[in-house]
Structure 1
Amino acid sequence: MATFLSSTSLTTSSFLIKPTSRLACFPQKITARTAKTPILAMATAPPTTTTKVAPAVIVGGGRVGRALQDLGSGQDLLVKRGEPVPLDFQGPIFVCTRNDDLDAVLEVTPKSRWSDLVFFQNGMLEPWFQSKGLGDADQVLAYFAVSKLGEPPTDGKTDTNPEGLTAAYGKWASAIAERLHSGGLSCKVLEKEAFQKQMLEKLIWISAFMLVGARHPGATVGAVEKEFRTEVSSLIAELASAAATEKGIVFEDGIEERLCAYSRAVAHFPTAVKEFKWRNGWFYSLSEKAIAEGTPDPCPLHTAWLKELKVI
């Protein structure tokens, strides 16, 4: 099975999404922020010449970690589960583990090197970053697939974004892009706000498609996009509205089409509600906060379906 990878709080509640026929359920609020740059259309094309990539420590010997090592120049240091991260190895530290292993990674990494950590995980990591004092941590949204250990990665390009979707943010972002480009993979280097928007879009994708798929046992991502489009469209709209309000951001037009296009690109991918804390759990935390404050649930459909599946 292919592995597809992938979080600062602002305060304004205004957001803008120009509705398409499938996004008519979005509330429309006009803000002064009318100048928009499409965050998923800023691709940096892979270079045509060979580039010597910077050596890195790679934490995690799974499919993604091994694939990144294969894209290196032979000077990387692979650190397996439980092994310490060296103090004297200069360069980025690529963290390619499961989200639930992140605490253990910090424990074996010298604190003086935490600023060199680069996180390749899916989901909403911002609350965890804040709890650990990591602040503005480097991150990568990896839209590529590694079918099995040792095989080269396949770029996750879509019909709406043929230039590729993988993006990197932080001080090591350029080094990451060079490494991926050396293997013919796409990668954008984004500033914080643009990266956050793209991160939230992927969070909405994985939360919406996995939840709708779980309501229809056996449904793949492709089946959700094709057969249960109305359900997933409603959920995308709801989650995007809640995320935009919480983070004070403006999503670019066409979010539903971008997410559905990605689903067509990974149509065979199975669905299940997993890693709740890092995915759907963030949206449910917004619901819990609103209810505790005596205000309406911003994600009532999401909450109802989580209850239906006995996830909460």
Structure 2
Amino acid sequence: MANVTTTLFSSKPYSLGNLNFKLPSTTSKHRTITSMVSVPTKVIPSIIVGGDISLGKALKQMGTGQDLVLKTGEPVPVDFPGPILVCTKNDDLDAVLESTPQSRWSDLVFFQDGMLMPWFESKGLSDPNQVLPFFDVSRPGKPPVDGITDVTPEGLTTAFGKWAPAVASRLHAGGLSCKILEKQAFQNRMIERLLWISAFMLTGARVPGGTMGDVASENHLYEVVMLMGEMAQATYEETGLAPEVHFETRLLAYSKAVSHIPAVVEDFKWRNGWFYSISQKAIAQGKEDPMSLHTRFLKEVNII
């Protein structure tokens, strides 16, 4: 296979060895629809599930004091109108559904990272409201850090669904960016987010005390780009979804913007575990591992 060269955030060309990218260009499909949707100027009162979590606290602060804040597992009322912002951990999503009347499921807005599509399908959730939060709320007492960079001055945070305008309004009130995308473009950005949280965290976890900034440095640049390349290719072959062109550049820039975040492999079954399941399936069929570097890195950090 021919060598592939990509231009990264540093503007220095890096050869990606024998990785043969066949990802389609989806730029023509990646268009915002904010001009087609009326984004309310006032923040709509919402139910916030997971108000004791950093994200939930941040979203509450962006409100007007009229939100209903619930802990995970507390019953969601039928008669409180507006979106239901779900800020819980992925493993608590089943509990969220159980505590939410089915008539309100279409009002749930999911902020979780990871590959959620199989879970949505298993629960019969069609075109659920989702948000990809490219901002950091991990530092108590400090305002959220938006994912605005020189590469993406418009920010990377993205929303989809009927409640996307309300989410955008709340985030804008908190000084954060947020774009509203159509389904196909949103799913492409979702894959981009999944690659970032999975590839960068895994690469950094191999370094004692590693951070996202460390991964984006020259020392680990080649490793993480190679890793993202094979993961993106495998994702496309598995789902037909692909990140937008130049995604490596955007993610490297974003990682520098949130350089303080520790690189830790978490929510395995929702993130890296989903990629590893693709490798396991291929091996069981007598094929080569499509993500051999990913598998090797998982072994290095004793995940598998």
Contact 1:56 1:76 in 2 (8 A): yes
Counterpart check, 1:196 vs 2:187: yes
Number of residue pairs matched by the alignment: 290
**Alignment partner for residue 146 of structure 1, among 119, 137, 143?**
137
Counterpart check, 1:296 vs 2:284: no
Alpha-carbon offset, residue 181 of structure 1: 1.5
Larger mean Cα displacement after TM superposition, 85-94 or 59-68: 59-68
Q: Which has the higher contact order (CA 8 A, sep 6+)?
A: 1
Larger mean Cα displacement after TM superposition, 92-101 or 148-157: 148-157
Q: Taking structure 1 as reference, are residues 68 and 251 closer, same or farther at Cα in structure 2, changes over 3 Å only?
A: closer
Q: Corresponding residue for 2:60?
A: 69
Question: What does residue range 41-120 of structure 1 map to in structure 2 within 5 Å?
Answer: 42=32, 51-61=41-51, 62-120=53-111
Q: Taking structure 1 as reference, are residues 115 and 37 closer, same or farther at Cα in structure 2, changes over 3 Å only?
A: same
2:133, 2:228 → 1: CA distance?
21
Q: Which runs of 5+ in 1 are unaligned?
A: 1-16
Alpha-carbon offset, residue 252 of structure 1: 2.8
Counterpart check, 1:187 vs 2:178: yes
Alpha-carbon offset, residue 19 of structure 1: 4.3
Contact 2:48 2:84 in 1 (8 A): yes
Q: Taking structure 1 as reference, are residues 197 and 106 closer, same or farther at Cα in structure 2, changes over 3 Å only?
A: same
Larger mean Cα displacement after TM superposition, 131-140 or 115-124: 131-140
Q: Taking structure 1 as reference, are residues 132 and 222 closer, same or farther at Cα in structure 2, changes over 3 Å only?
A: same
Alpha-carbon offset, residue 105 of structure 1: 1.0
Q: Corresponding residue for 2:196?
A: 205
Q: Structure 2 length as normaliser, TM-score?
A: 0.87
Amino acid at match of 2:20: P
1:209, 1:242 → 2: CA distance?
17
1:38, 1:158 → 2: CA distance?
23
Q: Structure 1 length as normaliser, TM-score?
A: 0.85
Alpha-carbon offset, residue 147 of structure 1: 4.3
Q: Which runs of 5+ in 2 are unaligned?
A: 8-12
**Alignment partner for residue 115 of structure 2, among 100, 120, 124?**
124
2:57, 2:21 → 1: CA distance?
45
1:43, 1:112 → 2: CA distance?
27
2:211, 2:23 → 1: CA distance?
37
Amino acid at match of 2:216: E
Identity %: 58
Where do 4+ consecutive residues of structure 1 move more than 6 Å? Answer: none
2:33, 2:178 → 1: CA distance?
7
Q: Taking structure 1 as reference, are residues 250 and 132 closer, same or farther at Cα in structure 2, changes over 3 Å only?
A: closer
Alpha-carbon offset, residue 22 of structure 1: 3.2
For residue 159 of structure 2, give the secondary structure of its aligned residue in structure 1: strand
RMSD between aligned residues: 2.5
Contact 1:50 1:182 in 2 (8 A): no
Q: Corresponding residue for 1:4?
A: none
1:91, 1:30 → 2: CA distance?
39
Contact 1:18 1:253 in 2 (8 A): no
Q: Corresponding residue for 1:27?
A: 20
2:271, 2:22 → 1: CA distance?
27
